[in-house]
Protein backbone atom coordinates (compact mmCIF):
# COMPACT_ATOMS: atom_id res chain seq x y z
CA UNK A 1 0.00 0.00 0.00
CA UNK A 2 1.23 3.41 -0.91
CA UNK A 3 1.21 5.75 2.10
CA UNK A 4 -0.37 8.98 1.01
CA UNK A 5 -0.26 12.11 3.13
CA UNK A 6 -3.95 11.55 4.01
CA UNK A 7 -3.25 8.00 5.19
CA UNK A 8 -0.44 9.23 7.41
CA UNK A 9 -2.65 11.93 8.91
CA UNK A 10 -5.36 9.34 9.50
CA UNK A 11 -2.88 7.04 11.27
CA UNK A 12 -1.58 9.84 13.45
CA UNK A 13 -5.12 10.80 14.45
CA UNK A 14 -5.79 7.17 15.39
CA UNK A 15 -2.60 7.02 17.46
CA UNK A 16 -3.53 10.27 19.19
CA UNK A 17 -7.01 9.00 20.03
CA UNK A 18 -5.58 5.74 21.37
CA UNK A 19 -3.13 7.65 23.56
CA UNK A 20 -5.92 9.87 24.87
CA UNK A 21 -7.82 6.74 25.81
CA UNK A 22 -4.84 5.50 27.79
CA UNK A 23 -4.52 8.85 29.51
CA UNK A 24 -8.18 8.63 30.55
CA UNK A 25 -7.64 5.14 31.94
CA UNK A 26 -4.64 6.46 33.85
CA UNK A 27 -6.63 9.27 35.46
CA UNK A 28 -9.31 6.78 36.52
CA UNK A 29 -6.54 4.89 38.32
CA UNK A 30 -5.44 8.20 39.82
CA UNK A 31 -8.86 8.69 41.38
CA UNK A 32 -8.54 5.33 43.10
CA UNK A 33 -4.93 5.82 44.21
CA UNK A 34 -4.50 9.60 44.00
CA UNK A 35 -1.20 9.89 45.80
CA UNK A 36 0.87 7.66 43.57
CA UNK A 37 1.47 9.97 40.66
CA UNK A 38 1.51 13.53 42.08
CA UNK A 39 4.81 14.37 43.71
CA UNK A 40 6.86 17.26 44.95
CA UNK A 41 10.51 17.52 45.79
CA UNK A 42 11.87 20.23 48.08
CA UNK A 43 15.52 21.10 48.61
CA UNK A 44 16.24 23.11 51.75
CA UNK A 45 19.35 25.02 52.68
CA UNK A 46 19.80 23.93 56.29
CA UNK A 47 23.36 25.22 56.50
CA UNK A 48 24.38 27.51 59.34
CA UNK A 49 23.42 31.14 58.61
CA UNK A 50 24.99 32.97 55.67
CA UNK A 51 26.16 29.84 53.93
CA UNK A 52 25.31 29.65 50.28
CA UNK A 53 24.06 26.38 48.83
CA UNK A 54 24.42 25.89 45.10
CA UNK A 55 21.83 23.50 43.66
CA UNK A 56 21.35 22.11 40.17
CA UNK A 57 18.59 19.51 39.78
CA UNK A 58 17.60 17.62 36.68
CA UNK A 59 15.83 14.68 35.16
CA UNK A 60 16.39 13.24 31.72
CA UNK A 61 13.68 15.56 30.37
CA UNK A 62 13.91 18.60 32.64
CA UNK A 63 16.72 20.88 33.66
CA UNK A 64 15.51 22.82 36.69
CA UNK A 65 18.37 25.26 36.37
CA UNK A 66 21.15 26.37 38.62
CA UNK A 67 20.33 28.29 41.75
CA UNK A 68 21.89 29.54 44.93
CA UNK A 69 19.88 29.18 48.10
CA UNK A 70 20.56 31.33 51.12
CA UNK A 71 20.24 29.88 54.60
CA UNK A 72 16.73 28.50 55.30
CA UNK A 73 15.71 29.11 51.72
CA UNK A 74 14.11 26.23 49.86
CA UNK A 75 13.15 25.32 46.35
CA UNK A 76 10.27 23.02 45.37
CA UNK A 77 9.05 21.50 42.16
CA UNK A 78 6.17 19.20 41.34
CA UNK A 79 5.61 16.57 38.71
CA UNK A 80 3.60 13.51 37.85
CA UNK A 81 5.37 10.22 37.98
CA UNK A 82 5.41 8.78 34.49
CA UNK A 83 3.24 5.80 33.65
CA UNK A 84 6.09 3.33 33.48
CA UNK A 85 7.54 4.60 36.77
CA UNK A 86 10.96 5.53 35.51
CA UNK A 87 10.88 9.12 36.77
CA UNK A 88 14.27 10.01 38.19
CA UNK A 89 15.48 13.37 39.47
CA UNK A 90 18.95 14.01 40.77
CA UNK A 91 20.77 17.06 42.11
CA UNK A 92 24.27 18.34 42.25
CA UNK A 93 24.77 20.48 45.37
CA UNK A 94 27.79 22.31 46.63
CA UNK A 95 28.94 24.67 49.35
CA UNK A 96 32.41 26.16 49.58
CA UNK A 97 34.78 23.44 48.40
CA UNK A 98 32.61 20.36 48.88
CA UNK A 99 29.86 18.82 46.80
CA UNK A 100 27.34 15.99 46.68
CA UNK A 101 25.53 14.38 43.79
CA UNK A 102 22.45 12.42 44.75
CA UNK A 103 19.17 11.09 43.46
CA UNK A 104 16.24 12.97 45.00
CA UNK A 105 13.36 11.07 43.42
CA UNK A 106 13.19 7.55 42.05
CA UNK A 107 10.79 4.63 42.04
CA UNK A 108 11.20 3.18 45.51
CA UNK A 109 8.50 2.32 48.05
CA UNK A 110 10.81 3.02 50.99
CA UNK A 111 11.50 6.49 49.60
CA UNK A 112 7.77 7.03 49.02
CA UNK A 113 7.07 6.23 52.69
CA UNK A 114 9.79 8.66 53.79
CA UNK A 115 8.18 11.29 51.59
CA UNK A 116 4.71 10.67 53.05
CA UNK A 117 3.56 9.72 49.52
CA UNK A 118 3.65 13.41 48.61
CA UNK A 119 6.74 15.52 49.15
CA UNK A 120 10.37 14.46 49.38
CA UNK A 121 12.24 16.96 51.56
CA UNK A 122 16.01 17.05 51.19
CA UNK A 123 17.97 19.20 53.60
CA UNK A 124 21.57 20.24 53.08
CA UNK A 125 23.32 20.50 56.44
CA UNK A 126 26.89 21.16 57.45
CA UNK A 127 27.94 17.49 57.30
CA UNK A 128 25.86 16.24 54.38
CA UNK A 129 22.47 15.97 52.76
CA UNK A 130 19.53 14.54 54.70
CA UNK A 131 16.12 13.18 53.79
CA UNK A 132 13.27 14.05 56.13
CA UNK A 133 11.30 11.04 57.32
CA UNK A 134 7.69 12.13 57.08
CA UNK A 135 6.47 9.58 59.67
CA UNK A 136 8.89 10.49 62.48
CA UNK A 137 10.01 13.98 61.49
CA UNK A 138 13.64 12.82 61.78
CA UNK A 139 16.24 13.88 59.24
CA UNK A 140 18.13 10.85 57.94
CA UNK A 141 21.62 11.35 56.59
CA UNK A 142 21.76 10.30 52.96
CA UNK A 143 25.02 11.59 51.51
CA UNK A 144 28.12 13.13 53.09
CA UNK A 145 29.82 16.01 51.33
CA UNK A 146 32.77 15.03 49.16
CA UNK A 147 35.83 17.22 48.94
CA UNK A 148 36.17 19.18 45.71
CA UNK A 149 33.64 20.67 43.32
Ligand X SMILES: *[C@@H]1O[C@H](CO)[C@@H](O)[C@H](O)[C@H]1NC(C)=O
Choosing from 60, 67, 118, 144, the residue that interacts with ligand X (CB under 6 A) is 67
- Does 96 bind ligand X (CB under 6 A)? Our answer is no
CA dist 89 and 58 (Å) reads 6
Give the number of other CB atoms < 10 A from CB of residue 26.
12
Q: Min. distance of Cβ 65 from ligand X in angstroms?
A: 7
Residues binding ligand X: number (CB under 6 A): 4
- Does 70 bind ligand X (CB under 6 A)? Our answer is no
Q: Which is nearer to ligand X, 37 or 58 (CB)?
A: 58
CA dist 142 and 130 (Å) reads 5
CA dist 145 and 10 (Å) reads 55
CA dist 95 and 45 (Å) reads 10
- Please give the C-alpha separations between residue 53 and each of 6, 66, 72, 109, 135, in angstroms, as whole numbers: 55, 11, 10, 29, 27
- Does 66 bind ligand X (CB under 6 A)? Our answer is yes
Choosing from 42, 51, 54, 74, the residue that interacts with ligand X (CB under 6 A) is 54
Which segment (63-71, 82-90, 99-107, 128-136) binds ligand X by CB under 6 A?
63-71
- Does 63 bind ligand X (CB under 6 A)? Our answer is no
Report the DSSP beta bridge partners of residue 125.
Answer: 128
CA dist 140 and 134 (Å) reads 11
- Does 127 bind ligand X (CB under 6 A)? Our answer is no
Q: Which residue lies nearest ligand X, judged by its C-beta?
A: 68
Choosing from 21, 22, 68, 82, the residue that interacts with ligand X (CB under 6 A) is 68
Q: Kindly list the residues in this chain that would bind ligand X in the complex (CB under 6 A).
A: 54, 66-68
Amino acid sequence: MKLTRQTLIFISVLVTLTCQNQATTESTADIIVPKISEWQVTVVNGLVADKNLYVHCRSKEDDLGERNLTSEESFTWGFRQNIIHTTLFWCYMSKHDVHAKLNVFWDDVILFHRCGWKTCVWIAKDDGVYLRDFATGDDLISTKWEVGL
